Amino acid sequence: MNPQPLRRVLYPGIVLFVLVTMVLLGGITLRSTRNHIILSSIGIMEAHAQLLVNSISEELLENPEELQGYIKKLSDDTQLRITLIDDEGTVTAESNRDPATMDHHGSREEVAPALAGTPASAIRYSDSVGYDMIYYALPFGTGVLRTALPLTELTASLRSVTMHFSAALIIILIIALTALWLVISRIERPLRDLAERSERYAALDFSAPESTGSSLLEVHALSNSLDTMADSLQRQIRSIRRQRDELQAVLNSMSEAVIVLDARRRIIDANPSAQRAFAPTLECDITTVLDTQKLMDMINSTADDEVRRTGEIIHQSQVYQVSVTRLPGSRGFLVLVFNDITTLMHLERVRRDFVANVSHELKTPITSIKGFSETLLEANGEVDQARSKRFLEIIHRQTLRLQAIIDDLLTLSQLEQIDRLEEHHTPVRLVPLIQDALVICREKTRQIDRELTIEGDLQTSVRGNGHLIEQAFINLIENAMKYSEPSTPITISLSPPSQGELIITVTDKGYGIPPKDIQRIFERFYRVDKARSRTKGGTGLGLSIVRHIMLQHRGRVEVTSREGYGSSFSLHFPL
Ligand code: ADP
């Protein structure tokens, strides 16, 4: 149904109502007025007829000419048309016409009953005079006396009533329409205001003025309900916005990548972590970003049976733990959460390797100690002195080795636990520190006279932990002594600061490191030549400790080496 304006609906209805009411009222009034006039006319005619009957004498009836004249005179006096009709229906006297010209009247509606003795009346069109007449017939002797009155007066009265009614109708119509216009105007404007306000509220604009200014109670109530609705709407929107912001903040701060898919597997949202990891394009299919069969299987099975799926996938050599969840009540929306566990997996592998390596490293000296000590015990003092001395020396050497490994492991573990707080760092002059390290290394390697040259800026100092830096120099100088002939030179050069860092290099002319091993020598327990390292008392942890010490100083250690020509280890300290 097409909605219509209030005016268009009300105006025709009211006009129709007023017209029908007035027409009905007019009809009833006209009808009752007419009946009333006719009845009172008949009453007058009856009274006149009685008087006329009494005034006509027997003699007058004997003389037709005189009778005609008398009838005419009476008619003039009473304004009635008077007709005398004999028992055969023949007109014997007539006030308005010549009786000889008049036809038989015995069968007239009012005459017939009167001839039978009953007075009667009728209203009908008169052919004789040419308009509606009201007739009254009264038995008179053997005949009938009939009086007649033209209805023209009645018609005039009715016309006047009709005229008045029409005038009243028009006035009432004008008043009704004006009143209606006023009422509609009072309703229409506030209603239009309310409609406008609702539209603004629907567009989430709550700045509209609150009052309609209407004095109508119903409009006022409607306006109040609208305000209440707007208030509640505002509260709900605020709450939804807050929840959305909270959710957004959580998503933004998550280190896990989160992607939301619609039921057609298109990406409809991705948090910053997901943007960084996969650079997805919104509205695109998930396969344009991640096309692993395992993920597709998880997505498909989650979409089918609403269960949360988890699993691991590999994408561009990163390992992700993925969970796919179907959002309840969301027409098949899926939330994909990716947790990058590559580092975790790597650390786990490192941990496993480390435990295996430590066990392996400890096993050799312990087996040796166990074997020789058992031999000595089983011999029960029956071993010759030279042999038992050799056995005890081996046991001692292996014990030292165990101690060296454990010391290095403890150093590494301590290094991992020390926080990198620079407030613990102090300026450290390097030359005295290197000289101390040299003394210790000569002692350890039993190369008491080994030559070592320090060159460059001898006043150089760095900010750091002096004890740890000395440990780094000990490890590098000891390696340089161990993996070179004692006759070859070792140089430590302190280069001037350049490009924001200070570099100290320990160079030897020793055996060098093969290119295939050079990247791995900083790993724990990695040794190029295991046998050589072991005979030199190496643990395979020295360079790993150096690397950690440099990390503690936000620096790094680098190596260049050529097999058979020597190696160069440089410590880079940031300024
Ligand atoms: P180790 O206790 O065996 O010396 P490191 O971690 O100090 O362990 O060194 C790892 C390996 O790197 C050594 O086993 C050795 O093969 C090699 N290496 C270290 N320094 C040198 C060097 N100056 N010259 C040649 N090889 C070296």
Q: What is the pLDDT of residues 174-205, one digit of tens each?
A: 998 898 888 888 888 888 888 888 888 888 88
- The C-alpha atoms of residue 453 and residue 508 are separated, in whole angstroms, by 11
Q: Which residue puts its alpha carbon closest to atom 4 of ligand 1?
A: 538
Which whole number is the average pLDDT over 371-375? Answer: 91
Tokens of 261: 């898919």
- The C-alpha atoms of residue 55 and residue 50 are separated, in whole angstroms, by 9
**C-beta separation of 537 from 397 below 8 A:** no
- Closest of 245, 280, 249, 244 to residue 265, by C-alpha: 280
210 confidence band (pLDDT: 50, 70, 90): low
Q: What confidence score (pLDDT) does residue 330 get?
A: 74
Residues with CB under 6 A from ligand 1: 475, 479-480, 483, 508, 510-513, 521, 526-529, 533, 538-544, 567
DSSP 467-522: HHHHHHHHHHHHHHHHTS-TTS-EEEEEPPPBTTEEEEEEEE-SS---HHHHTTTT
- Closest of 524, 515, 445, 430 to residue 477, by C-alpha: 445
Tell me how far the alpha carbon of residue 39 lies from the centroid of ligand 1, in angstroms.
Answer: 147
Q: Which residue puts its alpha carbon closest to atom 16 of ligand 1?
A: 528
SS (H, E, C) 270-336: ECHHHHHHHCCCCCCEHHHCCCCHHHHHHHHHHHHHCCCEEEEEEECCEEEEEEEEECCCCCCCEEE
Q: Which residue puts its alpha carbon closest to atom 13 of ligand 1?
A: 527
Residue 30, pLDDT > 90, answer: no
Residue 5, classed as helix, strand or coil, is coil
Nearest ligand 1 atom, CA 534: 3
Q: Which residue puts its alpha carbon closest to atom 12 of ligand 1?
A: 521
Residue 321, pLDDT > 90, answer: yes
| Fold adopted by 6-156 | Beta-Lactamase (3.30.450)
Residue 153, classed as helix, strand or coil, is helix
Which whole number is the average pLDDT over 322-328? Answer: 89
Tell me how far the alpha carbon of residue 557 lies from the centroid of ligand 1, in angstroms.
Answer: 14
- Closest of 445, 442, 444, 472 to residue 544, by C-alpha: 472
Q: What is the pTM of this model?
A: 0.54
Q: What confidence score (pLDDT) does residue 116 get?
A: 92
Which whole number is the average pLDDT over 480-507? Answer: 93
Residue 494, pLDDT > 70, answer: yes
454 confidence band (pLDDT: 50, 70, 90): very high
SS (H, E, C) 237-262: HHHHHHHHHHHHHHHHHCCCEEEEEC
Percent of the chain with pLDDT over 70: 97
The two beta strands, 120-125 and 267-270, are unpaired
- The C-alpha atoms of residue 321 and residue 311 are separated, in whole angstroms, by 6
Tell me how far the alpha carbon of residue 475 lies from the centroid of ligand 1, in angstroms.
Answer: 9
Strand partners, 558: 570
- The C-alpha atoms of residue 260 and residue 40 are separated, in whole angstroms, by 98
The dihedral of CA 540, 543, 547, 548: what is its sign? positive
Tell me the residue length of the chain. 575
Q: Which residue puts its alpha carbon closest to atom 2 of ligand 1?
A: 538
Residue 417, classed as helix, strand or coil, is helix
Q: What confidence score (pLDDT) does residue 205 get?
A: 84
- Closest of 193, 190, 198, 256 to residue 218, by C-alpha: 190
Q: What confidence score (pLDDT) does residue 85 get?
A: 93
- Closest of 118, 123, 49 to residue 81, by C-alpha: 49
Buried b (16+ CB within 10 A) or exposed e, 369-386: beebeeebeeeeeeeeee
Q: What confidence score (pLDDT) does residue 504 get?
A: 95
Tens digit of each residue's pLDDT (9 = 90 or more) over 274-320: 999 999 888 899 998 888 889 998 888 887 776 788 999 999 889 99
The dihedral of CA 106, 108, 114, 118: what is its sign? positive
Tell me how far the alpha carbon of residue 521 lies from the centroid of ligand 1, in angstroms.
Answer: 7
Nearest ligand 1 atom, CA 511: 25
**C-beta separation of 216 from 190 below 8 A:** yes
Question: Cα dihedral angle (458, 463, 469, 473), rounded to 10 degrees?
Answer: -30
Residue 431, pLDDT > 70, answer: yes
Tell me how far the alpha carbon of residue 528 lies from the centroid of ligand 1, in angstroms.
Answer: 7
Architecture in CATH of 423-574? 2-Layer Sandwich (3.30)
| Fold adopted by 345-415 | Helix Hairpins (1.10.287)
208 confidence band (pLDDT: 50, 70, 90): low
572 confidence band (pLDDT: 50, 70, 90): very high
Tens digit of each residue's pLDDT (9 = 90 or more) over 46-78: 999 999 888 888 888 888 888 889 999 989 988
Tens digit of each residue's pLDDT (9 = 90 or more) over 259-270: 999 989 999 999
Percent of the chain with pLDDT over 90: 39
Residue 506 CB partners (closer than 8 Å, separation 6+): 473, 476, 477, 480, 490, 491, 492, 568, 569, 570
Same CATH topology for 6-156 and 254-339: the answer is yes
Strand partners, 462: 428
Best residue among 412, 444, 521, 557 to mutate for probing ligand 1, ranked by most atoms within 8 Å of CB: 521
Tens digit of each residue's pLDDT (9 = 90 or more) over 235-253: 999 999 999 999 999 999 9
Residue 523, pLDDT > 70, answer: yes
| Fold adopted by 254-339 | Beta-Lactamase (3.30.450)
Hey, how many other C-beta atoms are within 10 angstroms of the C-beta on 19? 13
575 confidence band (pLDDT: 50, 70, 90): confident
Q: Where are the domains positioned within the chain?
A: 6-156, 204-250, 254-339, 345-415, 423-574
Residue 142, classed as helix, strand or coil, is coil
SS (H, E, C) 202-242: HCCCCCCCCCCCCCCHHHHHHHHHHHHHHHHHHHHHHHHHH
Q: What confidence score (pLDDT) does residue 41 get?
A: 87
Tens digit of each residue's pLDDT (9 = 90 or more) over 532-568: 777 777 888 999 999 999 998 989 999 999 999 999 9
Q: What confidence score (pLDDT) does residue 423 get?
A: 66
Best residue among 444, 479, 488 to mutate for probing ligand 1, ranked by most atoms within 8 Å of CB: 479
- The C-alpha atoms of residue 392 and residue 376 are separated, in whole angstroms, by 9
CA distances from 442 to 93, 446, 477, 481 (A): 181, 5, 9, 8
Tokens of 131: 């308009």
Tokens of 369: 């100690």
Tell me how far the alpha carbon of residue 480 lies from the centroid of ligand 1, in angstroms.
Answer: 8
Residue 132 CB partners (closer than 8 Å, separation 6+): 123, 124, 125, 126, 150, 151, 152, 155
Residue 168 CB partners (closer than 8 Å, separation 6+): 22
Sheet containing strand 132-140, edge to edge, reads 91-94, 81-85, 143-150, 132-140, 120-125
419 confidence band (pLDDT: 50, 70, 90): low
